[in-house]
Structure 1
Amino acid sequence: MSSKAYVIGVGITQFLKPQNKFDYPELVLEATTKALIDASITYDSIQQAFVGYCYADSTSGQRALYQLGMTQIPVINVNNNCSTGSTALFMARQVVEAGIVDCALALGFEKMTPGSLKLMFEDRTNPLDQIFAMTAETRGFGQAPFAAQIFGNAGLEYCEKYGATPEHMAKIAEKNHRHSVANPYSQFRDAYTLDQIKASPCIYGPLTKLQCCPTSDGAGAVIVASESFVLNNKLSGQAIEIVSQAMATDSPDVMSKSSIELSGADMTRRAANIAFKSAGIGPDDVKVVELHDCFSANELITYDALGLCKPGEAHKLVETGDNTYGGKYVINPSGGLISKGHPLGATGLAQCAELVWQLRGWCGNRQVSNVEYALQHNIGLGGAAVVTIYRRAKGLGKLSNEDQNPLKNHAYNPAVEARGVREEDVRRVMSKKFSERYSSRL
């Protein structure tokens, strides 16, 4: 018997420039502790955990979570390139909806090295070999970072086909940097003028440095629960329903001579179509969107792929200001990957946290008004695209003001203030069975 799935707790760390300041167990402990506090439960309630990361050894998920208790639950480690975090969430949602468990954890982290993304192994087949070959065949393959070339070429093609210009992409970056000023978790919180964006060093084609996401260290955690768990634990006031969710992989179009399709647009298109159909709504019903702006060019083409505009009119959304406050949509109120940062395993879960806070109305001066539905998009080359639609839980009882107050579970509002966790916070949420048995060793 299937069940609805609800997000009942979220937690993220600040996203930081890679600098060996924190190891991944510390990042995970902070994010997961925050999510458990948010959900008002202990780690004993978690029945399965899905842990996403790209830059760590096998079973790092177990090592990170054992700090909260060796409870012998299944811990599944996940790697799906830049959509790893959303893939973990996809899996957690599936087991809850299927009735396999009542409470699951989706966790993602990354401890990265400075500089552009690099391939880890040179003695075996590159999983992106077909994309690289088609890129070389269509527009050539140079010395710039490979991701910048793939997404930059997609932006160039959109300009050639539909009349967009590099300035539209620069305006997207200006918008996201401006949004990030109000996000305490963002790696970069400086606003830049359009001229500053355009004058920053060129990385590839239309993309300047301030139009590219940075590598980052960070972690995010999301707790997903069934309707019965929400009701039994009196969590209706904070529960956010996952209305629909879809994942798609590459279509045959990736083998075409289209740079837009090489960057995964058809994956996004398919996942969005499935998600909207399943939810019974359309793009016009959405007010706030967190989408995968690894480069400003990808945000531009994704407006089109998600159906936020008519085909070929993504740049018109930019021109009319319908991608920011006061417009039709507010896209990337968090600042997006360009400003917030992109620790691969954590990105999708940080997107989820932002939308959960928006739907709860916690976001202060970056709050989007009149939000009923929220849309999330996370993509990884090679490939996987995950599109998720959320709304505030309905039919779970009348809500009081106290139920919707962030101070009910936290000593502060985590949506507008980024704090670390204390030892007493960890002890509050760790497995009671584990801590009682091994208290002398903790």
Structure 2
Amino acid sequence: MVTDVLVAGVGMTAFVKPGTSPSYNELGSAAARAALADASIDYRDIEQAYTGYVYGDSTSGQAALYEVGLTGIPIVNVNNNCATGSTALFLARQAIASGSADCVLALGFEQMAPGALQELYPDRPTPLSRFTAVADQVEGAQSAPMAIKLFGAAGLEYQQRYGADNATFAKVTEKARRHAEHNDRAIFRTPLSVEEILASPHMLGPLTRLQCCPPTCGGAAAILVSKRFADKHGLSPGVAIRAQAMTTDTATSFDGASPIKAVGYDLTRNAADQVYERSGVGPDDLDVVELHDCFTANEILSYEGLRLTPEGSAAKFVSDNDNSYGGKVVTNPSGGLLSKGHPLGATGLAQCAELTWQLRDRAGVRQVEGARLALQHNLGLGGACVVTLYERV
């Protein structure tokens, strides 16, 4: 078994609004080329590739990578809802760690349509029926779009349990916009006040429109290598994956009709705990976190699911500015999904890129000073959660 898995290169396109982007294959190939250039290797060095997307025909991964090279390598297409990019990363890491390969590409891309997420196959059972059945018990949720229904209901349950006010949720978007102002790859970089966020159209529970991530188009990629490969090729990546875990739902996600549980709180907690146990690192050791803020409600829940703050204390965590520069741990310095954008297949690998830049001291104005340990959290309803711990080496 090979224990050292290094991040040799990362790449990411700018994230843009639907209708303004290149096609998915161009987004994917551009991200792959950027990662290859960052790693200073040739596509012919890649032994396997895992390509992630949600909205696309089968073998779209081949269509993207055939523009980079035709080398005959295995290309595996991955779809795990919003956790797709990190699932590709998980598979790439396993290939390296098992000794099956020494140089693997993880690629994610998405060419999305405007508007709320829609089911593409209404003629068959939806894989999210267990989840929406929980949210539909909340007043007003039945008529809401699928994702807003789930996360709005979870936000409302959190308020009822712990008394967090609407402004606490809006401050998450305010922080996201403040961070994204310095990210030229982010889709929304204009600062917003809490008052502006709260004044946007109401969705469900504490959520307003400006607390919901936008549909986005983009691509991102990471190249993972073994230490043996790095030494042979004279590479000094500077970043290693110290631990990683992927989880799916257990019975607790649906027991007790809790929207908080249904949107992945236990998946997050289980994956984070596995990573902490395997690495010997605790949440207080972290310098920077990229977490899955598809809605402000999920960022609030993820603070606690990842054990960044005790259960029920997220409002104080936010009001004390412990989620930003100068606080306990900088969360989503990229601007997160709320401001950077959320092209589903690319999101997990864009998080990987941001944290790699942070650990290499290449994040510019948004650099977290002295960052040595970074945690990534990527969640997909239906469900899957991947938590990855990176360290500077």
TM-score category of the 2 structures, normalised to the smaller one:
over 0.9
The amino acid that maps onto 2:95 is V
1:183 aligns to what SS in structure 2?
A: coil
For 1:275 and 1:48, locate their aligned partners in 2 and report how far apart those are by CA, in whole Å: 25
For 1:98 and 1:239, locate their aligned partners in 2 and report how far apart those are by CA, in whole Å: 21
- Quote the residue 2:258 is aligned against: 258
Map Cα deviations across residues 298-355 of structure 1 (whole Å, 9 max, x no partner). Answer: 0001100000011211111101100001101110000000001100000000000000
- Quote the residue 1:296 is aligned against: 296
- Do the aligned partners of 1:293 and 1:338 also contact (CA within 8 Å) in 2? yes
- Quote the residue 2:369 is aligned against: 369
For 1:70 and 1:365, locate their aligned partners in 2 and report how far apart those are by CA, in whole Å: 39
- Do the aligned partners of 1:200 and 1:208 also contact (CA within 8 Å) in 2? yes
For 1:277 and 1:3, locate their aligned partners in 2 and report how far apart those are by CA, in whole Å: 16
Q: Percent same amino acid at aligned positions?
A: 53
The amino acid that maps onto 2:113 is T
Map Cα deviations across residues 170-218 of structure 1 (whole Å, 9 max, x no partner). Answer: 0111000111000010011100011111111112221111111000110
- Do the aligned partners of 2:290 and 2:351 also contact (CA within 8 Å) in 1? yes
- Quote the residue 1:62 is aligned against: 62
1:293 aligns to what SS in structure 2?
A: coil
For 1:69 and 1:325, locate their aligned partners in 2 and report how far apart those are by CA, in whole Å: 41
The amino acid that maps onto 1:314 is A
- Do the aligned partners of 2:107 and 2:221 also contact (CA within 8 Å) in 1? yes
The structure with the largest alpha-carbon Rg is: 1
Question: Structure 1-normalised TM-score?
Answer: 0.87
Task: Report how far residue 2 of structure 1 moved.
Answer: 2.6
- Quote the residue 1:403 is aligned against: none
The amino acid that maps onto 1:319 is S
- Quote the residue 2:239 is aligned against: 240
For 1:160 and 1:122, locate their aligned partners in 2 and report how far apart those are by CA, in whole Å: 33
Is the deviation greater in 88-97 or in 61-70? 61-70
In the alignment, structure 1 segments of 5+ residues that lack a partner are: 394-442
Map Cα deviations across residues 270-293 of structure 1 (whole Å, 9 max, x no partner). Answer: 000001111111000001000000
2:333 aligns to what SS in structure 1?
A: coil
2:385 aligns to what SS in structure 1?
A: strand
For 2:140 and 2:184, locate their aligned partners in 1 and report how far apart those are by CA, in whole Å: 40
For 2:141 and 2:203, locate their aligned partners in 1 and report how far apart those are by CA, in whole Å: 14
Task: Report how far residue 137 of structure 1 moved.
Answer: 3.0
- Do the aligned partners of 1:230 and 1:239 also contact (CA within 8 Å) in 2? no
Task: Report how far residue 154 of structure 1 moved.
Answer: 1.0
Task: Report how far residue 239 of structure 1 moved.
Answer: 3.1
- Quote the residue 1:166 is aligned against: 166
- Do the aligned partners of 2:152 and 2:203 also contact (CA within 8 Å) in 1? no
The amino acid that maps onto 1:240 is V
- Quote the residue 1:146 is aligned against: 146
For 2:234 and 2:210, locate their aligned partners in 1 and report how far apart those are by CA, in whole Å: 44
The amino acid that maps onto 1:334 is S
Map Cα deviations across residues 198-251 of structure 1 (whole Å, 9 max, x no partner). Answer: 111112221111111000110001000001111112222x33100000000012
In the alignment, structure 2 segments of 5+ residues that lack a partner are: none
- Do the aligned partners of 2:85 and 2:348 also contact (CA within 8 Å) in 1? yes
Task: Report how far residue 20 of structure 1 moved.
Answer: 5.3
For 1:250 and 1:316, locate their aligned partners in 2 and report how far apart those are by CA, in whole Å: 29
For 2:259 and 2:173, locate their aligned partners in 1 and report how far apart those are by CA, in whole Å: 21
Q: CA RMSD in A?
A: 1.0
For 2:73 and 2:238, locate their aligned partners in 1 and report how far apart those are by CA, in whole Å: 24
- Quote the residue 2:189 is aligned against: 189
1:250 aligns to what SS in structure 2?
A: coil
- Do the aligned partners of 1:289 and 1:374 also contact (CA within 8 Å) in 2? yes
For 1:363 and 1:205, locate their aligned partners in 2 and report how far apart those are by CA, in whole Å: 35
Task: Report how far residue 138 of structure 1 moved.
Answer: 4.7
- Do the aligned partners of 1:135 and 1:141 also contact (CA within 8 Å) in 2? yes
For 1:318 and 1:355, locate their aligned partners in 2 and report how far apart those are by CA, in whole Å: 21
Question: Structure 2-normalised TM-score?
Answer: 0.98
- Do the aligned partners of 2:2 and 2:226 also contact (CA within 8 Å) in 1? no
1:126-145 to 2 correspondences below 5 Å: 126-139=126-139, 141-145=141-145
1:80 aligns to what SS in structure 2?
A: coil
For 2:2 and 2:197, locate their aligned partners in 1 and report how far apart those are by CA, in whole Å: 48
For 2:184 and 2:84, locate their aligned partners in 1 and report how far apart those are by CA, in whole Å: 23
For 1:286 and 1:126, locate their aligned partners in 2 and report how far apart those are by CA, in whole Å: 38
